[in-house]
């Protein structure tokens, strides 16, 4: 039981209650006993004076009977001694001092007007004058009964509080432990691969926030599992298509009587698909490294205008083949950016080549560069097929390709790589598109004024 949180709560409560009740009971008993002792002393002092008054006023014929009845009724033991008066005790002699003891008290001046306590017996002795004789009056009272009444009441009260407190705490502990138990069971289900499991708990406390965190985690894992399954399906499809083509045409090439022209044609097809597989593998590896941020970027400050001119020159041949014009609107002043020049060049190549792929003959691609005090904005606009809002929400996902775009060469990894590179540069990429009108990609990157990246900032903060 101690291994569970329920058992720990109960044991902790019991230990706390026992310890706190022990301290409270001890303090209460000591305080009550002191009050009983004070009351007994006041009563004994008043009784001593009352006894002296009775003895001075009563006749000798019935004085002993009256004193004995008074002592018994008041539950006080009375003892008198004087060399001339003699030794008398009333109320029973169970606790009464002996004659020799009273004699010592009589002649000991330190015992005059003295209070004493032995176990539960309170006593008071004083030398006084009774009928012109010095008499030592010694009165005693047993306070054990009063103390036992309070102790029994205290035990009864503490017992009731202890029992009721346990019942209430068990109910509260059950309320606390049940949601945790449900969460534990849900965690076990999640570990088995059941990502649809959820924990329902209404409230605004720590347990509710813990359950909400669990539900969010389960939802995220379910989404990741769905993405993983889709990734496996997509990558299987992407690999299967070129592999099937390679195998098919390789079998055809085995035929000895195949004409040279057809043999060359089929060899070129095999070469094309093998290059496609190689590119796909490289892109997958690159995307994996980028998403894990395992790529070391070489940050430098360079001219984005010169880089775009260089990329445009490499893509012009493809554009000319489709009679597509690439128009570059250069800024008045050169625009400098701070980033990895090689990685950013790949961004422009991927976006511009996509624009050429999805733009019909006679189309236009416009590239603009704007510079602000903190960033450089590059927009690449085409007059191509355009995209719907649904497509735009998925274009940066791995292997995503719109159905009508599957006839165009590609593997659906280019824009995912673009997004990862832009994120590593702490930049931003937006897409504005309209079906059958065209698309515009807007990329914002840090300018030359940002001289270090986020990781460098973090390292500097640690040094501070």
How confident is the model over 163-188, as a mean pLDDT?
79
* pLDDT score at 363: 92
Compute the distance between CA of residue 322 and CA of residue 342 in angstroms, rounded to an integer: 27
Q: What would the pLDDT profile of 202-258 be if each residue is shown by its tens digit?
A: 777 777 888 888 888 888 888 877 767 776 776 676 677 778 888 888 888 887 778
Compute the distance between CA of residue 425 and CA of residue 297 in angstroms, rounded to an integer: 9
CATH number assigned to the domain comprising residue 452: 3.30.565.10
Q: Residue 223: which domain range?
A: 206-291
Residue 136 within any structural domain of the chain = yes
Question: Do 49 and 137 have their domain in common?
Answer: yes
Question: Do 225 and 361 have their domain in common?
Answer: no
Question: Do 304 and 362 have their domain in common?
Answer: yes
Mean pLDDT of the chain: 80
With 80 as the cut, is the pLDDT of residue 455 above it?
A: no
Residue 56 within any structural domain of the chain = yes
Q: What would the pLDDT profile of 423-448 be if each residue is shown by its tens digit?
A: 888 899 999 999 989 999 999 998 76
Q: Which residue has the tokens 């310890």?
A: 19
In percent, the amount of the chain with pLDDT more than 70 equals 86
How confident is the model over 367-392, as a mean pLDDT?
89
Q: What is the domain count for the chain?
A: 3
Residue that terminates a domain, selected from 269, 291, 313: 291
How confident is the model over 400-416, as a mean pLDDT?
58
Compute the distance between CA of residue 453 and CA of residue 9 in angstroms, rounded to an integer: 49
Question: Do 398 and 337 have their domain in common?
Answer: yes
Question: Do 259 and 368 have their domain in common?
Answer: no
With 90 as the cut, is the pLDDT of residue 308 above it?
A: yes
Residue 193 within any structural domain of the chain = no
* pLDDT score at 404: 45
CATH number assigned to the domain comprising residue 274: 1.10.287.130
Q: Phi and psi at residue 309, in whole multiples of 5°? A: -60, -40
**Confidence class for position 454, pLDDT limits 50, 70, 90:** very low
Residue 287 within any structural domain of the chain = yes
User: Is the pTM for the entire model greater than 0.75?
Assistant: no
Question: Do 452 and 303 have their domain in common?
Answer: yes
**Confidence class for position 276, pLDDT limits 50, 70, 90:** confident
Residue 216 within any structural domain of the chain = yes
Looking at per-residue pLDDT, the higher value among 411 and 330 belongs to 330
Question: Do 124 and 141 have their domain in common?
Answer: yes
Question: Do 317 and 397 have their domain in common?
Answer: yes
Question: Do 448 and 347 have their domain in common?
Answer: yes
Question: Do 318 and 414 have their domain in common?
Answer: yes
**Confidence class for position 457, pLDDT limits 50, 70, 90:** very low
Residue 164 within any structural domain of the chain = no
Residue 276 within any structural domain of the chain = yes
**Confidence class for position 293, pLDDT limits 50, 70, 90:** low
Q: What is the 3-state secondary structure (H, E, C) of the chain?
A: CCCCHHHHHHHHHHHHHHHHHHHHHHHHHHHHHHHHHHHHHHHHHHHHHHHHHHHHHCCCCCHHHHHHHHHHHHCEEEEEEECCCEEEEECCCCCCCCHHHHHHHHHCHHHCCEEEEECCEEEEEEEEEECCEEEEEEEEEECHHHHHHHHHHHHHHHHHHHHHHHHHHHHHHHHHHHHHHHHHHHHHHHHCCCCCCCCCCCCCCHHHHHHHHHHHHHHHHHHHHHHHHHHHHHHHHHHHHHHHHHHHHHHHHCCCCCCHHHHHHHHHHHHHHHHHHHHHHHHHHHHHHHHCCCCCCCEEEEEHHHHHHHHHHHHHHHHHHCCCEEEEECCCCCCEEEEEHHHHHHHHHHHHHHHHHCCCCCCEEEEEEEECCCEEEEEEEECCCCCCHHHHCCCCCCCCCCHHHCCCCCCCCHHHHHHHHHHHCCCEEEEEEECCCEEEEEEEEEECCCCCCHHHHHHHHHHC
With 50 as the cut, is the pLDDT of residue 461 above it?
A: no
Question: Do 359 and 272 have their domain in common?
Answer: no
**Partners of 135 in the β-ladder:** 128
With 60 as the cut, is the pLDDT of residue 88 above it?
A: yes
How confident is the model over 62-72, as a mean pLDDT?
82
Residue 61 within any structural domain of the chain = yes
Residue that terminates a domain, selected from 148, 167, 189: 148
Residue that terminates a domain, selected from 133, 148, 163: 148
Compute the distance between CA of residue 446 and CA of residue 374 in angstroms, rounded to an integer: 6
Q: Which residue has the tokens 């796909």?
A: 280
* pLDDT score at 325: 93
Question: Do 225 and 287 have their domain in common?
Answer: yes
């Amino acid at each position: 039981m101690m291994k569970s949180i329920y058992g720990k709560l109960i044991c902790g409560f019991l230990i706390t209650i026992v310890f706190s009740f022990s301290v409270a009971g001890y303090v209460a008993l000591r305080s009550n006993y002191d009050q009983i002792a004070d009351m007994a002393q006041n009563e004994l002092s008043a009784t001593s004076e009352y006894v002296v008054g009775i003895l001075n006023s009563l006749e000798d014929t019935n004085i002993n009977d009256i004193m004995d009845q008074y002592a018994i009724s008041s539950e006080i033991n009375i003892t008198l001694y004087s060399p001339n008066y003699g030794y008398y005790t009333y109320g029973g002699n169970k606790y009464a001092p002996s004659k020799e003891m009273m004699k010592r008290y009589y002649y000991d001046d330190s015992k005059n007007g003295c209070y004493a306590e032995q176990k539960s017996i309170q006593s008071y002795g004083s030398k006084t004058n009774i009928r012109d004789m010095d008499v030592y009056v010694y009165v005693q009272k047993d306070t054990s009964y009063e103390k036992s009444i309070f102790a029994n009441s205290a035990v009864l009260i503490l017992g009731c509080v202890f029992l009721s407190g346990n019942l209430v705490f068990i109910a509260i502990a059950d309320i606390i432990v049940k949601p945790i138990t449900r969460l534990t069971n849900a965690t076990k289900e999640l570990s088995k691969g059941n990502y649809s499991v959820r924990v329902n708990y209404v409230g605004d406390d720590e347990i509710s926030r813990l359950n909400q965190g669990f539900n969010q985690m389960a939802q995220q894992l379910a989404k990741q599992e769905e993405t993983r399954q889709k990734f496996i399906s997509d990558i299987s499809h992407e690999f299967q298509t070129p592999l099937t083509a390679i195998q098919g045409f390789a079998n055809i090439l085995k035929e000895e009587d195949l004409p040279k022209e057809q043999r060359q044609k089929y060899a070129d097809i095999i070469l094309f698909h093998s290059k496609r597989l190689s590119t796909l593998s490289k892109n997958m590896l690159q995307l994996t490294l980028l998403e894990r941020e395992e790529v070391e970027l070489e940050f430098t400050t360079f001219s984005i205008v010169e880089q775009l001119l260089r990329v445009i020159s490499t893509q012009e041949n493809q554009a000319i083949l489709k009679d597509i014009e690439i128009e570059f609107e250069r800024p008045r002043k050169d625009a400098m950016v701070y980033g990895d020049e090689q990685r950013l060049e790949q961004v422009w190549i991927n976006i511009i080549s996509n624009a050429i792929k999805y733009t019909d003959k006679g189309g236009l691609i416009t590239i603009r560069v704007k510079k602000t005090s903190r960033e450089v904005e590059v927009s690449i606009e085409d007059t191509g097929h355009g995209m719907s809002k649904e497509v735009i929400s998925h274009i940066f996902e791995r292997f995503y390709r719109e159905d009508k775009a599957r006839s165009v060469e590609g593997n659906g990894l280019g824009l995912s790589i673009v997004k990862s590179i832009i994120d590593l540069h702490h930049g931003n990429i937006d897409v504005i598109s309209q079906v059958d009108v065209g698309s515009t990609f807007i990329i914002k990157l840090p300018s030359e004024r940002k001289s270090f990246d986020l990781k460098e900032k973090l390292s500097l903060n640690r040094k501070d």
